[in-house]
Every structure is written in structure tokens, then in C-alpha cells.
Amino acid sequence: MRGYLALRGTDFMQTKIRIFYLLILLSGLIVLLGLRLAWLQFADPVPARVAMQNTDISERAVRQREERIELDSGRGQFVDRHGRSLTGQLIWTPVLFPVGSFEPLGINSSKAPAYLHQAATLLNTSPEELGTVWGKLTHPATWTGGKDKLPIRLSLGEAKAINKQNVPGLAALPYVLRYPEAAGGRQWLGFLAEQPERIRELNLSQPNQKNLPISSKIGASGLERTLDRMLQGLGPTQAAYRVDAHQKPIGGEAVRIHTPRNPYYPVKVKTTIDLGIQAEIEKLTAAAGVAEGAVVVLDTKTADVLAMVSSPFFQPNHIELSDQAWSNRAVKAAVPGSIFKTVTAAAALEAGLTSPSEAFHCNGDYGKYGLSCWKEHGHGRLSLGEGYAKSCNTVFASLGERLSPFQLERTADQLGLGRLIGWSDSVFYGKGQEPLRMFDQEEAGTVFGKEKDPSDKGVLAQTAIGQRSVLMTPLQAANLVVTLINGGVVHAPRLVSDVYYADGTPLAALKPHAVLASSGRISPQTAATLLGWMRKVVTEGTGRSLADFSWDLAGKSGTAQVTRHGRKLNDQWFIGYGPIQHPRYAVAVLVQGKKPGTKSLATELFGEVMNILYKRTQTG
């Protein structure tokens, strides 16, 4: 037994010795490896093949990299109701990749590299100008032209000609221009901007999603903002050009395209807009010289927005936040003037405080509250319907004194005023999430605002004719007409009907819905009465200039007296529908900032808009 233990002890000691020698050997190898790495790092081992080529090792051993430019953000795109593109126009444009600085070229540019001359000829510019721009580039950039600084457009033939020359650092590439170059009245679409603080908030609120880079451009207004979460794609399509650390192109390397591959993104958003109608109304308002205002066209069955034009126009590629042109006046509340008499008439009829046949007398001066009729010597004896058609202030001021603030506000609410009426879904993104609203910047408007005593008779009289604190948006005004056509049912106007994945699979259907007030709706009889009076406006009232148009039309004019920057001005309105036999379109026109006493441009534009709609129905 002792012999056995002695033998086991000897074996154990030999094993420990072997492990010790192995550890020494391993340590030695590690030391040798470290010395070898240090030698490679700090010594100057020039390979024979490099030395023979007389090439500086510092130029041969530099770290290679790619210079990239974004050709498409990968963001979802918008189309109109017929599938025509509203964003994402594909163009061909020259792209310059950094190739290092150029020496001062001088007048004759004799020192310029041959490829700079070649590129300048292809881009229709001088070597001096091109060299100045190109030499300062630190990142790839498109070659721009004109005051708007947008990428210049190339024909397919021009693009092929540029690429055929193989000029180092120059390539003609497909580029997605998100917005049209020309300014327009599509503020409802919105624009993109860098908003670091908002991106931080989004990243914190969406912990299960990939964080957005702080420098990303996201929706800053309009549908770009309200649908931003759906529009964010999987990443951009980029063009890459391989250069060395000195920004010298690597010979033989072509431009390479990097793009995310996914059958579902980016998404496509189908709007309710008719691009043809939208474009024609934009041309109309520009030709008419509308500096401030809005035009809204709604489908009378669904309240879908077919066109929405806001003036002044804006260019979403170049936003000036200070000038407010990006603000959508179609959803901004303004003093409505006499179009609010529609609400006053409805409130009085619904409350049983008057009847269509009641007779009034107007002598031009109301006699109190500083009110008078727009017609200097008055309208004489007239019925309520005639008072509406002729927009008599005396008739409606007297109705206002009969009504209570509650009755006026309740009727306004029942007609979709004094509240947000644009399509919305509070749980679209999930419970506890921000609701989905189609109309960014939408304002609710008001009847009495911050009036200290709405029950004051003078306040009621002035409110009844659409002055004082009353505010209404053009969208609400057009939807008021739709509500009357639908017998008092308030529909929520839509800007978007569907969202599709990239492969055409439906992602979401944003279906029409009503937005009735908690107090119910006005009666179909009252709605029908008001529609009949709107026809009288055209046949015998303030809208007689519309009597000879292609369609039989109906509507209500309005002139709001406002003061801006110390100047007394008029905001002109006209709301209505057509054709009266089978109403298809409801239209609201607002022209702001007109001199008192000038002819109603709003009425004229309403007729021209209806002519546009008529012609389109004839051509299909």
C-alpha cells in the first residue's frame, strides 16, 4: 500500500513539472507574438514589390473607405385618389464625389486636370466654377442649378453620355425628388425637417423600435407629420464611390448602389385628393392674385377632400418658418362674416323662435350696438328667406337677440363648428398613444371665444351676423354645406383613404365616419330649408353673378370686417354646392385682406372653381 502511494505521488509531481514547462513555453510564445506585432506596428517593412514600384508606403497602406450620397430616403410616398404621384418623382441628376482639392486654376485653367475640363463640358459650366465647388466637397453632392438649388434634371440620353465618359468622381444617377420644384398650395401635405428634440422624444416613446438617427429628417407638418410613424422606411438607398483616405478615387471602381431589400416598405399612402382638380385650382388662385386665403372642395357624399389650396403658396424643398407660408389656411380659423347667418337661421328655426315666412323690416340702420345693414337705405320689408338671400344684417341681428348663447353654440356644434371635425382615430396607434389626425394644424374655431358675457344682447346681435368673436375654418365652412346636403349628419372630412405596403398589400383602410354632436343634429327639414335659401342667394340675392354658369349653383356669401396691423380690411367668403339637382361638390372660398368696398373675388372664384369641376365631369 505504501509503495502504491509513493508511486502515485511521483506521478503527480511529474505532471506538475510538465504543466510548469508548458506554461513557460506558452508565455514565451505570447511574448514573441507581442514583439512581432510591435515590430509590424512601428517598423518600416517595405515589401520588395512596393519598393520596386517606387511607391510611398503611406499612400499604399491608407485605409480605404466609401463616400456615400442618399438617392432616396426610403420614406413612404403619397399618391392621389387615382394613383398619381404626389411625392417621389424620379429624375436623373449629376452627382459629384469628393476627389480632393484643386489648385487655383487661373483664367486659362491650364493647370486643371483633364477630367475637370471633361466634367465641366458635360455639366455646361467652366472648369473654374466646377473646380471651386468640387474641390471644397467633403461629402458627395448633387450638381444644382438655379435659385432653388435643386438637383438639375438630365434626360436619359444626357445621363448615359455622362456615364459613358467615366469621369473620376462624376456619375449621373437616379435621384428621388420628394416634392415638385414649383411652389404650390399643398400645405396639407407638409414638409420634412431635422428636429433633434422630437426625434429624441420619439426614440424614448418607441423603445421596441429601431432608434432614428438624430440627423434624420422627419415630418414637420401636414400629412408628413401626422402619418410620420407609418412613413418611416427601413433606410435610404445610397450610392457609394470608393476612395482612399486622401479622397482619391480608386481606379476601376464603379459607383455601387446600396438599398434595403424588403417587400413591404416603403409604404404608399393613397389620399382623397384629385391631383387634376388640385392643380387647376392652384393655377386659378395664382392667376387671380390671391395673396391670402384658401379654397376647399369636398365630395358631398363622404366629405372627402378633393382639393385644398392655401395661399400664399410654399415650396416644401425650401422652408422659411418665419413667413408662415407653410401654414395651412384651410384649417385655420377666421372671422366668417355672413356665412355664419346659416347657423343663426338654423338655431332660430330649430328653437321655434321664427318661421320661414316671418316678415322683417330693414331701413339700413339697426339703431343700436353700432350695427347697420350693408345696404345703406335698407331692404325694406322682407321675409326670413329673403333676408338670408340678401344677407340682411337687420334680420339676423334681431334673431340673435332672441337666441340664447346655449342655443347658438349648440346649433354650431350640431353643424360641426366650434370643434375639430377632421377625420381622426384615437386608438389607431394603440391605447395610450397619440391619436391619428389627418389635418395637422387644424383649429376648432369658436362662437363666443372669451366673451365675458355672451348673454349680452349686443354680443348676441353681433355674433349672429358672424362678427365679434366668431371663428370658422374654410374646412368647417365647406363641411357645413355637406352637413346640410346630408340632412344634418356631420361627416368627418378625410385626406387619406388607404395605406398599402410596397407590394400592394393593404396595410390600413381609413374608412369614412360621422362625427355627430352629443346634442344630436339639426332636423332634415331645417337643412332642406337652408339649402333652398342658398339657391335664392344665386337667383335673387348676393350671388346673382353665378346665375348663368354651366351648373345651377347655390351658396352663401360673406364679408367679415377685420383689422390687421392697424388697417381695416375685409375677408371675403363664399360657400356653396352644385349642381343643385344632384349635388356632387361642396366648395368654400376665402379671400383675405381685401380693401373694403371691393368686388367679391371669393364669389367670382367660387364660380370658376365650379366651372373647373363641371368641365371635368364632362370629360370623365
User: What are the grid coordinates assigned to 93, written together?
Assistant: 441628376
**187 confidence band (pLDDT: 50, 70, 90):** very high
Give the three-state DSSP class for 151.
strand
What per-residue confidence (pLDDT) applies to 58? 41
Q: How many CA atoms lie within 13 A of 157 on its CB side?
A: 0
- Residue 246 pLDDT: 66
CB 164 within 8 A of CB 96: no
| Confidence grade of residue 79 (pLDDT, cut at 50, 70, 90) | very high
| Architecture of the structural domain at 65-191+222-270 | Alpha-Beta Complex (3.90)
Q: For 37-47, what is each residue's pLDDT tens digit?
A: 554 444 443 33
Distance, CA of 291 to CA of 483 (rounded, Å): 29
Residues 463-482: tens digit of each pLDDT: 999 999 999 999 999 999 99
For residue 36, the SS3 value is helix
Q: What is the pLDDT of residues 95-125, one digit of tens each?
A: 988 876 555 444 445 556 777 888 888 888 8
CA gyration radius, the chain: 36
* pLDDT for residue 5 is more than 60: no
pLDDT confidence tier of residue 607, bands split at 50, 70 and 90: very high
Backbone angles phi, psi at 358, to 5 degrees: -60, 140
Q: What is the pLDDT of residue 40?
A: 45
The per-residue pLDDT for 448 is 97
Alpha helices, DSSP H, located in 253-383: 275-287, 341-350
Q: Is 52 exposed, middle or buried (0-12, 13-18, 19+ CB in 10 A)?
A: exposed
Any idea which fold 275-317+326-619 has? Beta-lactamase (3.40.710)
- What pLDDT does 213 receive? 75
Q: What is the pTM of this model?
A: 0.85
Q: What does pLDDT average to over the chain?
A: 86
CA distance 304 to 247: 53
Q: What is the mean pLDDT of residues 296-307?
A: 98
Q: In the structure, what pLDDT confidence band is assigned to residue 19 with cuts at 50, 70 and 90?
A: low
> pLDDT: is 178 or 1 the higher one?
178
Question: What is the model's pLDDT at position 146?
Answer: 63
Q: Is the pLDDT of residue 314 over 90?
A: yes
Residue limits of CATH 3.90.1310 in the chain: 65-191+222-270
How confident is residue 242, by pLDDT bands cut at 50, 70 and 90?
confident
Residue type for position 66: E
Is there a contact between 242 and 169 (Cβ–Cβ < 8 Å)?
no
Band of residue 249 on the pLDDT scale cut at 50, 70, 90: low
From 158-172, 304-318, 594-608, the region with the lowest mean pLDDT:
158-172
Q: Which residues of the chain does CATH 3.40.710.10 include?
A: 275-317+326-619
Report d(CA 99, CA 252) in Å as an integer. 15
Q: How confident is the model at residue 531 (pLDDT cuts 50, 70, 90)?
A: very high
Q: Where residue 6 falls among pLDDT bands split at 50, 70, 90? A: very low
Give the rounded percent of residues in the chain with a pLDDT score beyond 90.
60
Are the CB atoms for 296 and 602 separated by under 8 Å?
Answer: no
**Are the C-beta atoms of residues 384 and 360 closer than 8 Å to each other?**
yes
